A and B are shown apart, each in its own frame.
Chain A
């Protein structure tokens, strides 16, 4: 453990936040240098949940390694699996059936809503409001039920496999999703009434943790955090995969770059996901849910890269293959790691209370950072 409690030569106080701290959403360790209440430096310490997933993947086959990625960014488990499946398909040159593509996009967007809902509840809890947590989990449970019925798991699904999806949709799927849409539309105004319009909340969020457009680009920040600063970086729009180029949805952009802008991006993004689901739910094509693939997958010698948009930003999967059944090297470009790198920049000079608001709106998932 790092023993860095004390004072610097200039008389500044050094305190540790984490690794066991409720506001870090896991086991992130921050070493903060304080002058009074003003933050002079924030130094994140990583590795408290480093599970060596990249190294593990080198000894797992192309079908097996996907399960480890559900545990990486567990709130976007589907989208992580999707990225890996896409990379392997790219290497093999497989065409995926239309039904599988639609199922994948539906699942991705449901995951995105579930992830943003959890973020919303947890962030409000960080700022001292406990009720939003229960409201968010009420809707999240309905999505979990949908996932459970079709994929057999609530959180770590491993549903997307090279060639399509593991099994067909449950007969109840469409009904359940439609019920969820009605429930969601009936309840979404509560989110605004409870939190967004709250004057205390706005005072704590507006002008706090400002990330300029230039800084966002230079730190490699992606996802809603970057779109809050006006950086157009939605992979679904810029480098469309699956059927995203045929769908109608907007890329949400805000220009202020503060915590409130990042908050609004996520809230509005949930509505965009709803739009996508509405377009697809009645138009799921008939056909196979999986392409015919060989029992043992062998990627040709070479390097393959695919990026997708997870709930937190751009996830890149980079596979180096030597032609065998297991990858030679796998690298995940995880969105959380890059988003964390700007934490020092946006909190420096601010008050220690604002650190929580800034960190909450970056929506960090620690196992995604450490892998």
Chain B
């Protein structure tokens, strides 16, 4: 149904067009065109010229800025790319790109256009100079090693004898100081000479380090910063079999541990 109507409309249009053509009036031919007048030739407009396009300085560190300067002649307008846009034909502009950028200046005048590029190099800023070294902070290990001396014992004894009492008093003062300055704990090692049995000496070494610990705590050294370890006779600092060596091994020895 629809199709039939469309076909009908096309036929109607065709017949109307043919009818209209048949009705056009006949007009006379036009006169010949006049001879062209001889005119004096005008010179073409001068081409625009970019006199200069510079960046100063040509290299910056990131975060610094540089100045683009340009001058041109015969230009009516100018643009610079990289987000700057229209500018005066002569001028300057501060830029601060984050990376090396090549700027293109395009000037346009009646005589056409000209362009020129200039590149601004951007460098990474130099690392800041290292801060002056801080005053070296000593570890608990080296502080204890330097300032805390061994306390010595009699054979098969864990009593704090006179010389050990003096040494432990000095140690207590120094330890209180050290433990305020730095973190970490102090291990009190108990050692024995080689003569008793290894099994008994393990108990005796424990006894010696515990006696030294108790003495220090009495003098105000914080107990929770002290630890007791018996090495018995397993870690002698002197291995000869004579009294001077044995005396060196009958000791409470102090080690700072982070």
Binding partners A and B: no
A residues touching B (Cβ–Cβ < 8 Å)?
none
